[in-house]
Structure 1
């Protein structure tokens, strides 16, 4: 089997493991277990907390002591064991700690999978810029395939989603041991401080007003990035409580409807170069923020019959909202930071958006929904989505007013090439 095919399988399984439960866990939590929304928010905060704690640590281990592909395999096997145990858990507190253990193992594998792929492609003299994107797209395909499998097998609210994920994690873990060796690069200087080794030296960028503002806005918008992953499938499934929608396609195949969001991601990635060249980084980030307003607003007024178009358009808009922010934000860091701390600055961007942002977004959304929008066990979904839309709108307006950045087509073009 050739190298590109082997890495394609790795990428497919990497996100299949996540897609088997991430979008549907809300149905299991609220529908099967009937636990509270406040506690559910804490479950998704484990993604952010794990993204803060683990990638830098595992990066150091892979750089200094253990082959990256072996560390990658071990983490997936350990994460699979945690997922395998979840069906035995019968209270929300224990569920939190087990899913946290699974995420401590899983979240660093996202960056490790990139490192492994880059290393293997370079060692085999492939053009990484040209060859890697088509390989990575299969990760999104894997995520979608897992969502469809979970839904079509009738497991979008059952413990079987965790078994599906666990067995995929085991398969990937053992498979990774067969990949070409990625020995430690030992690029970190022995004299480097712990701060430098952990990539925390980029925090000095907070001393610059413009960069501090960018990272703060990244954190606040990061709080919205996982909200529809957390609640979208539950929202669509709970239309079953309304008689006229109970037997609708949307209720039966809610996870497949939600997968339109992931399909949209793959398409909007292709549009990013045009938008960046035409509008510039700040405008593309603003487009992303207003796309989040539209994403939530359309959900607020959609329904499975005459409002189905709103739900579908909302899922399509998700690709723009998610991709435009992450990629334009990454390019902003790339074009405005010194090369000596650029990698650390990229790590800081991810830490603020997908780490601290996702952590606080997960926790606070659960509290807000439980406290203000749940009455006698019934969730007021329209006002939940409208409150999220208002949150995104406030961030967008403040960002437009306070964040100053001049469009430089040449800088964007240089990065693209």
Structure 2
């Protein structure tokens, strides 16, 4: 790959995930502090990610893969996204905020597939080249978090002054720049001919349901959905939790999770090839249980190390389960169901699993609301920790050890 092309794709990834990280991490805190949203409303806001994940395959499969260049669709979406971001910045209550956010996420979620498509189209050896490009997305997410804390938008003074609303302007500005920049990215023409028949079952992964006849894959599939329930607790509650207990520069500290993601992404091939798929997934689920237990026991004073370790476990939690899970799915699917299988897993996890998780997190957070704006966080975090343990026990009991030829 040409150095110029590598730079173009790396910058694209950086801005793509900078935009997402600039508002997604702090949205729960923003909604509570700026729009006085209730826990159920905050969970509804985060659920827009799941709605977007469910609808995304239709946009990519029906439009991007058949009629228009991917880079042009990416550009149009991000320009429109910048306008919607300004609408989110201007919202004064949740009823005006939610429909704009829903529209934005329906547009944004397909861009995650589009940036991958644009990247893969320029690669001769994706197995070696993609990680070098994709890591800049993680760096973009981390940069957004550090910048928010550096500017003091997530500090107590910043919250009192309502400064978190500027995260939407920051994300919108970068979205507009990426929108214009996208038109200058390498051309990525549609792969399918417009005359070809659109197969809904293939786009959303129904063709890959045949893989569930394999006992191990069926167990993995069920556990993937279930583990997304505690995952949703982290995305939805971590920022409000850290802010409420008084941890300074919480957004910047949460960026440590993405730093660990880079580290464990590099360690994953070695661990996977040495210990196999069952042990890798076991360690990931155990890390989820430990992380939430640390959140339950930690505090912003003597127990702050527990919070930081819990945040740092993000790399193991995410990479060792979801990335290794994608690899495991790919190895089981074969050439015929490769795309369908990944679509099925994405729809099941980010769509169904996290939708259930966001709803549950909202209900449980509201149940343990002690006073206005004060939660019993210990009880809240023990629940996803317990769920993680139950999924871990289910997986350990039913998933049979198998050899998966990866990284050889």
8 Å Cα contact 2:204-2:343 kept in structure 1: no
Q: 2:211 aligns with which of 167, 182, 205?
A: 205
1:14-413 equivalences under 5 Å are: 14-119=16-121, 121-122=122-123, 126-156=124-154, 157=159, 158-186=164-192, 190-191=196-197, 193-240=199-246, 251-371=247-367, 373-377=368-372, 378-406=374-402, 408=403, 411-413=404-406
Unaligned stretches of 5+ residues in structure 1: 241-250
SS at 1:223's partner residue?
Answer: helix
What TM-score do you get using the length of structure 1 for normalisation? 0.91
Deviant stretches of 4+, over 4 Å: none
- Per the TM alignment, residue 191 of structure 1 is displaced from its structure 2 partner at its CA by 4.4
Give the superposition deviation at 1:328.
1.6
On the 8 A contact 1:11/1:138 being kept in 2, the answer is yes
Q: CA RMSD in A?
A: 1.8
Question: In 2, Cα distance between the equivalents of 1:379 and 1:256?
Answer: 23
Cα distance in 1 for partners of 2:356, 2:239 equals 21
Q: Distance in 2 between matches of 1:147 and 1:115?
A: 26
2:203–2:340 contact (8 Å) kept in structure 1? no
CA contact (8 A) 1:48 1:359 kept: yes
1:274-332 residue CA offsets vs partner (Å, 9 max, x unmatched): 21122111111111001000111111111222112111111111110111001221122
Provide the C-alpha distance between the structure 2 equivalents of 1:402 and 1:24, rounded to a whole number of angstroms.
38
1:4 aligns with 2:16: no
How many residue pairs were aligned? 397
Alignment partners' CA distance in 2, 1:58 and 1:230? 27
State the match for 1:245 in structure 2. Answer: none
Q: Distance in 1 between matches of 2:280 and 2:30?
A: 36
Return 5+ residue gaps in structure 2 as ranges: none
Query: Post-superposition shift, 1:398?
Result: 1.1
Post-superposition Cα deviations, 1:85-115, rounded to whole Å, max 9, x if no partner, equal 0122223233222111111111111111010
